[in-house]
Structures are given as structure tokens and as C-alpha cells.
Amino acid sequence: MERLNDALGVTRLAPSPTGALHLGNARTFLVNWALARQRGWRVLLRIEDLDHPRVKPETIDQTRAELRWLGLDWDDEVPLQTTDLEPCHSALQKLGRAGLIYACTRSRAELLLSAPNEGDQTIRAAAADRPAEAGQPIEQPKTTSTWRLMVEPGLCCVSDAFCGDHQIDVATDCGDFAVWSNRGCPTYQLAVTVDDARQGVNQVVRGDDLLSSAARQQCLQAHLRLPTPTWWHLPLLRGPDGRRLAKRHGDTRISRWRSGRPDRLVGLLASFCTSGDDPVPMTASAFLETFDIDRVPRSDVIVTSDHIRWLDA
């Protein structure tokens, strides 16, 4: 059965063009790609350009070029998310007709438009704050309103092929989360749910800061009668202070090392996929030959100044 699923596997590399590729997302993409190529999954590239204010269009080409430079490839690229919002709109209508959403008039600053990566402030929209009309069926939800999904209390089990089972209560985690923004477009949660389903994605590999989002996406999948993909949430790369690797830890953008060959970079990322191995330069195809998902540490990886020195050498 596993073989059959693998043969029909479809995954996606889903960068957000909100900034340059950095060590953290490069490592996730490398693992995603290697898992896919080892198991014969189809690989889609999906540039997630819904995050309007933070999208930097110039990083779209740069991201493609940097993925290629690392040695990764994909079988197809799907259109940019913003060019095809109709399927998300019809999902919104379905939720509206089922009386599952309500228009929320709370401030723009509270919108959950972007992927709620760790460190973002998650809003908790409690059931007690719903407007009186919440629960009424809505035939044509206005696309200029913010719509929130009514979340019922109860545990949702996210079964992850890499990090095991997690029980998450979406009502206490974030409450009624936004599925549509008053800027006229779906939020990350709705878009990713609809796109994964319509693009046949059944293997989702990403950072474990999105584990709680998987529970929200499972709520939407249940309401929209869409399949749940197999999740693979990987631990994050962190700085020496234990916080998620970011600008505050210095420049870890891939562009910093692009004048040379990618072997040292891939070698370092490969060493983060085994416990205790020293990095040795290697190509992505050499990584593919030795990569073993069962050896990937279950805990977060600390990136130190020694690692950066190794890359700079």
C-alpha cells in the first residue's frame, strides 16, 4: 500500500516571495526534494504570492534561480496563486452556504493573511465575540469583507509521518481563524487548503512552525470534503539563542554564498539531517543517494558561527 501511495505521491515546494531564500527554508526544500525524488513523488513548484504587503516580486525569479543553484528541480510550476483565485472564492461560497463563516469587522492589523510562522502574533477570536448573525447561511459572501470560520472546541489529531501524532484544539489555539481578507483575497489557510487539494498534493513537507496550521487546514478539509495530505513537519533551524534563525542572527541568505559552488552549502544542510556528522561538501544528487529521513534529528538544529565560518571558507 505504501508503495502504491508513493508512486502516486505529489508534493510541492511552496516558497513565499517575501524575501530571499535562507538557510532555514533551503534545508526544508532540500529535504522535501530528496524525499520526493527517493520515493518517486511528483514535485510542483508553487510560489505563494498571496501575502501582498510583504511580497517582493523581484524575489520570485531569485528564488527559482537559487533552488536550481542548490541542485533542486521540479516537474512543473503551477501558476502564481494570485492569478487564479476562483477556486478559493467558490470554497468561500461553500463555507458561506453551510453557515460556517461570519463577517468580522475587527481591525486590519488582526488579519491572519500570512502564514502564521512562529513569532507572529496569533489572534484568538473567541466564540463569545462572534456577531449575533454568526451561523446564518450566506449565499454570496462579499469579497471585500474579512470572513472567519466558526471553530468548535475539541481536539483535532494531526498525524504526522515525521513527528508523530499531535492533539491540537484549534478553538483554544487560535479560535475562529480568518479564511478571507477584506483585501479581496483568501488567507494563507484557505489558499493552501484549496491549492493542495486541487493540485493533487498529498505529501506536505514544511517547517514544524506550521504544525498548528495543519490542524486549521484539517478543519477546512473536513468542511470542504477535501482529503488530508500526509504531513511531514520538520524541526526548525535556530540561532545560538534558541530563537528561529532570522536576520537578527546575521545574514544567512543563500545569495551570500552564490558566487561559489553550492557544495559546501548543501554539505552543511546535509549535516543538519544527521546527528553529529561533520559537514563535507556534496552536490544535491550526492545528498539524495545517502539521505535517510529516519536519521533526521527530531529536535531543532542550532546554527552556530562555526557553521557560517565553514560556509564562508
Residues within the interface to ligand GLU (CB under 6 A)? 14-16, 48, 115, 117, 192, 206, 210
User: Considering the complex, what minimum distance in angstroms separates the CB of residue 70 from ligand GLU?
Assistant: 16
- The answer to whether the beta carbons of residues 299 and 46 sit under 8 Å apart is no
- The answer to whether the beta carbons of residues 101 and 179 sit under 8 Å apart is yes
State which residue, 81 or 271, has the beta carbon closest to ligand GLU: 81
Q: Which are the contacts of 178, defined by CB distance < 8 A and separation ≥ 6?
A: 104, 111, 112, 113, 146, 147, 148, 149, 187, 189
User: Considering the complex, what minimum distance in angstroms separates the CB of residue 149 from ligand GLU?
Assistant: 17
Give the whole-angstrom CA distance, residue 286 versus residue 230: 26
User: Considering the complex, what minimum distance in angstroms separates the CB of residue 10 from ligand GLU?
Assistant: 14
Identify the bridge partners of residue 165 per DSSP, sorted by sequence position.
159
- Nine cell digits for residue 271: 549535516
SS3 content of the chain, % helix, strand, coil (to 5): 40, 20, 40
State which residue, 30 or 210, has the beta carbon closest to ligand GLU: 210
State which residue, 114 or 271, has the beta carbon closest to ligand GLU: 114
Give the whole-angstrom CA distance, residue 186 versus residue 193: 10
User: Considering the complex, what minimum distance in angstroms separates the CB of residue 115 from ligand GLU?
Assistant: 4
CA distances from 164 to 160, 310, 313 (A): 5, 33, 38
User: Considering the complex, what minimum distance in angstroms separates the CB of residue 134 from ligand GLU?
Assistant: 27
Give the whole-angstrom CA distance, residue 188 versus residue 50: 7
Length of the chain: 313
User: Considering the complex, what minimum distance in angstroms separates the CB of residue 236 from ligand GLU?
Assistant: 11
User: Considering the complex, what minimum distance in angstroms separates the CB of residue 49 from ligand GLU?
Assistant: 9
State which residue, 103 or 236, has the beta carbon closest to ligand GLU: 236
State which residue, 117 or 283, has the beta carbon closest to ligand GLU: 117
State which residue, 171 or 192, has the beta carbon closest to ligand GLU: 192
- Nine cell digits for residue 126: 473567541
Tell me the DSSP string of 77-109: EPPPGGG--HHHHHHHHHHHHTT-EEEE-S-GG
State which residue, 190 or 282, has the beta carbon closest to ligand GLU: 190
**Exposed, middle or buried: residue 303 (CB in 10 Å: 0-12, 13-18, 19+)?**
buried
User: Considering the complex, what minimum distance in angstroms separates the CB of residue 148 from ligand GLU?
Assistant: 20
State which residue, 180 or 188, has the beta carbon closest to ligand GLU: 188
Q: What is the CA radius of gyration of the chain?
A: 20
